[in-house]
Structure 1
Amino acid sequence: MLGLWSLHAPYYLLLLALLTTLVFALPIFCMPLVWARLMGWTIPTHRDLAVYFGRCLGAFILILEAMMLRAALTGEAIHVVFEMLVAVAVMMIIVHVYGALRRIQPLSETLEIGFYIGLLLLTLLFWPAT
């Protein structure tokens, strides 16, 4: 399974970077509480810390997006980017399963478990050839 579609690895990164930038990175970075409300979170009275953490998370996602874009367009560090995507997917599965088991997150976050499992499988299928 590893690298079954490796020929198309740059196209996968390009599409993934575009979609996740528009759906996750920019909304979380620019308007974290609006994004949180849309995802079903209850917004606390004291919001500064939530905004700060949201913007920090958005900034890190944007860094990964830029690395995916560079790897997709130039091939530079493509293996490192794929390794990072696997790490992100695995860690986000753990985070979302934990939240689901503790019942401390909205349904939208629990449904993201499937998204991250799919991301992990697709990343492995598009793994670039060595």
Structure 2
Amino acid sequence: MPKVDHIRLYLQCARNYFEDLAKQQETIFLSVSQKISTASHTLGCFLISQGYEKVCYAAGERTVSEQYQTHAWLEWNGWIIDITADQFADGPSAVFMERGSEFHRSFTRDYESEPEISSCIAAQNQKFLRYMES
């Protein structure tokens, strides 16, 4: 069975990849929410490929100080997995994996699914897989 410690290593590696990707010109056309969604789906599919079962992509919304916000993260075996929450003033660390989170509970969940790679991000997913395997 895959181990929790391995996920923590994968998360840091994935965060590094997506930080580098965000600096590249090819991703400018994506909105912040699209980048987060893409990162969560891509990471979720990678975890599944590594033998982690029942990985769930979750998304929610909230309003803070009259500002509408959306966010996406992963859940696995009771763990909340998030590599993009630090974009929020009240968000946890850049690489987050815990059993519970007030921050994530502050979002009204409006969507959940198994992570998936759409055709529009398939090429980027292949680059991500090569990076993670190196």
Bigger radius of gyration among the two: 1
More helix per residue: 1 or 2?
A: 1
Asked if TM exceeds 0.5, the reply is no
> Shorter chain as normaliser: what TM range?
0.3 to 0.5
